[in-house]
């Protein structure tokens, strides 16, 4: 008789109201991959305990536990790992590079400002924070880049992919950071297309 192997489901250490963590939940739900979610209260320092730092020395969520000895941090790296070999990761070389282009854009030009403004207003409750105006200005710049692309194409890299999932996470809660999407009709239509994909859910609101 063939020996049976028990596959341990992926474990996700995440905070449900974090867009970086919601990306991971979305990919797992869309692909129907079983997982266990371990809620981490970052505001109570739970990602900075010695036990947590032993798994992720960078002390942040999300963190994917693949097996007893293997952990993967960084939301977009987790997305690439989970999507490899699936319809969310294109076969074409240029389209794969396009996915990476938008994943880097998300972390560099989008998340620091759009998620940063949401964190400052909705979590820190500091609407007068001196860095907020720059975050709002740079966040709108990122939204304008997205609007320009989405006016010509339904998704960021050909078909619906992890590039869309990564950008969806904080864009659909941008209002919590003080952003108004009224002047971005292509972005709003794309958000609806993303939400219509099986497995895509909205992230819980900050309060």
Ligand X SMILES: N[C@@H](CCC(=O)N[C@@H](CS)C(=O)NCC(=O)O)C(=O)O
**Residues binding ligand X (CB under 6 A):** 18, 20, 42, 47-48, 59-62, 74-76, 107
Q: How far is the CB of 119 from ligand X (least distance, A)?
A: 7
Q: How far is the CB of 60 from ligand X (least distance, A)?
A: 3
Q: How far is the CB of 175 from ligand X (least distance, A)?
A: 17
Spatial neighbors of 178 by CB under 8 A, at least 6 apart, are 117, 121, 127, 132, 136
**Judged by CB, which is closer to ligand X: 56, or 187?**
56
Q: How far is the CB of 116 from ligand X (least distance, A)?
A: 9
Q: Would you state the structure tokens that stand for residue 73, as one six-digit string? A: 């941090």
Q: Which alpha helices (DSSP H) does the chain contain, by range?
A: 19-31, 50-55, 75-83, 93-105, 111-118, 132-150, 162-171, 185-195
Give the N- to C-terminal CA distance of the chain in Å, as an integer: 54
**Judged by CB, which is closer to ligand X: 59, or 158?**
59
**Judged by CB, which is closer to ligand X: 106, or 147?**
106
**Judged by CB, which is closer to ligand X: 78, or 157?**
78
Query: Length of the chain, please?
Result: 207
Q: State the residue number with the nearest CB to ligand X.
A: 60
3-state secondary structure of 200: coil
């Amino acid at each position: 008789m063939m020996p049976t192997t028990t596959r341990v489901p992926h474990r996700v250490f995440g905070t449900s109201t974090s867009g970086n963590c919601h990306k991971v939940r979305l990919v797992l739900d869309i692909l129907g991959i079983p997982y266990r979610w371990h809620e981490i209260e970052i505001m109570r320092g739970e990602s900075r305990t010695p036990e947590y730092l032993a798994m992720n020395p960078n002390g942040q969520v999300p963190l994917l536990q693949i097996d007893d000895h293997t952990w993967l941090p960084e939301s977009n790296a987790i997305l690439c790992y989970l999507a490899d070999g699936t319809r969310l990761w294109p076969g074409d070389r240029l389209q794969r590079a396009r996915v990476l282009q938008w994943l880097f854009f998300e972390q560099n030009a989008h998340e620091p400002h759009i998620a940063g403004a949401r964190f400052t207003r909705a979590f820190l409750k500091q609407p007068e924070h001196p860095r907020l105006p720059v975050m709002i200005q740079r966040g709108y710049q990122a939204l304008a880049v997205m609007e320009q692309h989405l006016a010509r194409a339904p998704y960021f890299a050909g078909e619906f992919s992890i590039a869309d999932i990564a950008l969806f996470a904080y864009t659909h809660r941008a209002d919590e950071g003080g952003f108004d999407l009224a002047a971005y009709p292509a972005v709003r239509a794309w958000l609806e297309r993303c939400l219509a994909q099986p497995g895509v859910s909205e992230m819980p609101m900050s309060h």
